[in-house]
Structure 1
Amino acid sequence: MRFHPVAWGVIIGTFLSRTGFFMTLPFLGIYLGKVKGIDPAIVGSILALSLLVGTISSFAGGALSDRLGRYPVMITAMGAWSIVLIGYVFATETWMFFVLSACNGLFRNVFEPTARALLADVTSDEQRAAVFNARYFAINLGGAIGPLIGLQLGAGSTSLLPFLVTAIIFAVYAAILVVFMVMFKERLKKDVAAEPVTMNQMARIVFTDKVFLYLLLGNLFVAGAYSHLDTTLSQYIGHDRIEAYSFLFVVNTISVLALQYPLAKFMKRYSSMTALKLGCLLFGLGLFGFGLFTNLFWLSVSMVVFTIGEILCFVVGDILIGEIAPQHLRGAYYGASGFAFLGQSVCAWIGGVLLQVLGFGQGPLIFAILMLLTFIALPFYQHGQYLWDQRQHQKKSCEKSSQVMI
């Protein structure tokens, strides 16, 4: 695949950073509960705060990248994220974990939409699906390796080594980005918007582009479903079977690596919105399976179903945003897509509360509720598909009219 050197840099850096991420942060809920003795509802609130702050910072991060350029925003965010990981080593009080969780969400979600916008900047329309598939492949390759390394380093236990190793990886990625900024900044100047987008303009984008709005509303519930992998599920299974949780995490990652490209090829027959609706359905069914089964084999089957939903929703979602967004507002659109993190925040909190109120023995009921919450996305995707089809039809009609006039 002949991608721009910057695209390859982002993809390789994504692999490194996600390896570090999956070494540490998926085990954070277990660490806070088992090692620090924090109640499940409080743990859910700590994890939810990261996602809530992520909603706001992602929204602002897109605007900053359009104003200041992609590289300064990415370098600052990744460097600061490294410092946050070191903070976990020294934190002793519950309030400190709330602060660190907020900072974790802040810097992660300033970085992520900016990196996606940079990928779109340096990639042609014809290669965009391939480059985003490669990025998602890198994310999940890191996800396959990260938990295994994390377990070897003692993640989820009293060991602080995973936090330190992850901090070093993030710092190295920030340094790599500095090198790329020096080498390719001049070449990419033309990709920065001539008229930077203000926060007010970003808000108008969300509420005037109805296709984008319905996509975001659906993504609230789908992103919420995905958040349970790192939060509710980690507490529900990981509180007494950490090896089983780690195994399911690896099943998730290997399933992505094995199924991503066959699914991408298969779903070319269908519209993007159809893929999102199918993904939403599978997300919910996979969640219900986590609560229904205790046998590791059926839990693994549920994870495969859950993972197919993940692939369909997230890869297609990124590509669809690239199709919807005007080129000069791409950073703003990817930043505004962080609105979906609100769903992650709320659903992570709901999961923690359900575990606290109903108890760990009520898995079928807890995950049935979470499944029904996921299915709320379906009518939003349905209406978004209707509006998108209308827009595409009008665009084709205008093109035909222009050709007739010529």
Structure 2
Amino acid sequence: MRTDRKITGKRGSFHPVAWGIIVGTFLSRTGFFMTIPFLGIYLGKVKGIDPATIGAILAVSLLAGTISSFFGGALSDRFGRYPVMIVSMGVWSLVFAGFAIADATWMFFVLSACNGLCRSVFEPTSRALLADVTPAERRSDAFNARYFAINIGGAIGPLVGLKLGVGGSSSFLPFMVSASIFVLYTVLLIIFMLIFTHGIPEKTTNVPMKQMVQIVFTDKVFLYFLLGNVFVAGAYSHLDTTLSQYIGHDRVEAYSFLFVVNTLSVLVFQYPLGKLMKRFSALTSLKAGCLLFGIGLFGFGIFESLYLLALSMVLFTIGEILCFVIGDVLIGEIAPDHLRGAYYGAGGFAFIGQSLCAWLGGILLGTLGFGQGPLIFGILMLLTFIAFPFFHQGQRMWEKRQQAEQEKHDSLPSVIAGQ
């Protein structure tokens, strides 16, 4: 893979393609957050679907994403990032239009599965492209900028969605607006593909798919990170699923407020945390994030005051920043350049945690009832903490690998001198 100035752009700046991904991320996440966080409310209040079935519908999206993620990223290694991104984004726009007109429960299962499929094919490919066009020393900045764009979209999207009537009888318009935004992003990707093609290979590797699987899933450091991330991703899934039903069933405005708190917390804490955690290893950051994720979740179940719920969301969000921004950077460090898409794609297997936890959250709400918040979110907190030993073991192995590579590097001069 080329790493000249045509790829990386001018010194001190991002490549235009990187800016395109960041701006496109803002657009797509604005459209996504206009509707999807309120999907559980919409299905319950408007369509009259019971909580357990809603949990299953939302879980199908995450399960489909889990199955498809690796193959989307791997295909982008074989055939280029742009074709995979354009096709998945185009289909994704149709999914949002489908949510606007669907009526039968089975249709929502199909659309939810397609939503997860498109997201899990597009996301790892776009992250791999961002890493492709950004030098290693700037990747942390690039992924921070991408995450910043995600959360700006997360702040604007829910407010626009509520203004347009999402979750109520007039939900047709918000879903169609989301679909239109995704069509716009598809067009922008086509334009970028036509303009910025020089220096970005359309086919980056000839490694067979079977061999990709063997390489990725025999990397023990990556596997420990992935196993821990299953439980972390499961914790995050409750923001859009269990929490939306628990608080949103009778306090939609409060849920929207917490979503805004989530976004503002990212904007306030993201860069200070990024600087602070540079003093520690990536996996140490993940362990701290896991702890805060769990504490924040428990707070959602025990507090009724909006201020204390907001405090819980701040803790939850700090855990989110530590786990997801640092996690993206870590995958870029672990992965070989020619298999970066496959590694980012394999990272999507963490969605199995989102799928199972979204379903579990719906079952707990349906079985125990909405009045058992401390018990429900206490269980979810303990599940989150299971990630800790996996991150700890991964950190130990990663440090040993880095030490071995450093010793090998240090021995090269003496070997060359002796020849």
> CA contact under 8 A between 1:197 and 1:329: conserved in structure 2?
no
Extract unaligned runs of 5+ from structure 1: none
Look up the equivalent residue of 1:188 and give its one-letter code.
I
Q: Structure 1 residue 197: deviation in Å? A: 4.2
**Residue 196 of structure 2: SS of its match in structure 1?**
helix
Look up the equivalent residue of 2:69 and give its one-letter code.
S
d(CA) in 1 for partners of 2:283 and 2:296? 20
1:327 aligns with 2:337: yes
d(CA) in 2 for partners of 1:111 and 1:315? 17
Q: Structure 1 residue 194: deviation in Å? A: 3.0
Deviations, residues 119-139 of structure 1 (Å, cap 9, x unaligned):
011010111111000000000
d(CA) in 2 for partners of 1:146 and 1:236? 21
Extract unaligned runs of 5+ from structure 2: 1-11
CA RMSD of superposed structures (Å) = 0.9
1:28 aligns with 2:39: yes
Deviations, residues 74-93 of structure 1 (Å, cap 9, x unaligned):
00000100001111111111
Partner residue in 2 for 1:237: 247
d(CA) in 2 for partners of 1:206 and 1:280? 24
> CA contact under 8 A between 2:295 and 2:316: conserved in structure 1?
yes
Partner residue in 2 for 1:298: 308
Q: Structure 1 residue 186: deviation in Å? A: 3.0
**Residue 255 of structure 2: SS of its match in structure 1?**
helix
More deviation in 140-149 or 180-189? 180-189
1:207 aligns with 2:223: no
Question: Where do residues 4-403 of structure 1 align in structure 2 (5 Å cutoff)?
Answer: 4-159=15-170, 160-189=172-201, 192-198=203-209, 200-403=210-413
> CA contact under 8 A between 1:23 and 1:150: conserved in structure 2?
yes
d(CA) in 2 for partners of 1:116 and 1:264? 18
Look up the equivalent residue of 1:216 and give its one-letter code.
L
Look up the equivalent residue of 2:305 and give its one-letter code.
N
d(CA) in 1 for partners of 2:404 and 2:300? 44
d(CA) in 2 for partners of 1:196 and 1:73? 18
d(CA) in 2 for partners of 1:141 and 1:303? 16
d(CA) in 2 for partners of 1:207 and 1:106? 21
d(CA) in 1 for partners of 2:112 and 2:349? 18
> CA contact under 8 A between 1:202 and 1:336: conserved in structure 2?
no
Look up the equivalent residue of 2:155 and give its one-letter code.
A
Query: Following TM superposition, where does structure 1 have runs of at least 4 consecutive aligned residues deviating by more than 3 angstroms?
Result: none
**Residue 186 of structure 1: SS of its match in structure 2?**
coil
Look up the equivalent residue of 1:347 and give its one-letter code.
C
Partner residue in 1 for 2:9: none
> CA contact under 8 A between 1:192 and 1:328: conserved in structure 2?
no
Deviations, residues 98-126 of structure 1 (Å, cap 9, x unaligned):
00000100111110000000001101011
More deviation in 144-153 or 204-213? 204-213
**Residue 187 of structure 1: SS of its match in structure 2?**
coil
* Equivalent residue pairs, number: 404
TM, length-normalised to structure 2 = 0.95
Look up the equivalent residue of 1:255 and give its one-letter code.
S
Look up the equivalent residue of 1:163 and give its one-letter code.
F
d(CA) in 1 for partners of 2:251 and 2:97? 27
d(CA) in 1 for partners of 2:215 and 2:323? 22
Deviations, residues 1-37 of structure 1 (Å, cap 9, x unaligned):
5100000000000000000100010000000011101
Percent of paired sites with the same residue: 70
d(CA) in 1 for partners of 2:121 and 2:287? 28
TM, length-normalised to structure 1 = 0.98
**Residue 165 of structure 1: SS of its match in structure 2?**
helix
Look up the equivalent residue of 1:36 and give its one-letter code.
K
**Residue 188 of structure 1: SS of its match in structure 2?**
coil
d(CA) in 2 for partners of 1:327 and 1:206? 12
Q: Structure 1 residue 66: deviation in Å? A: 1.1
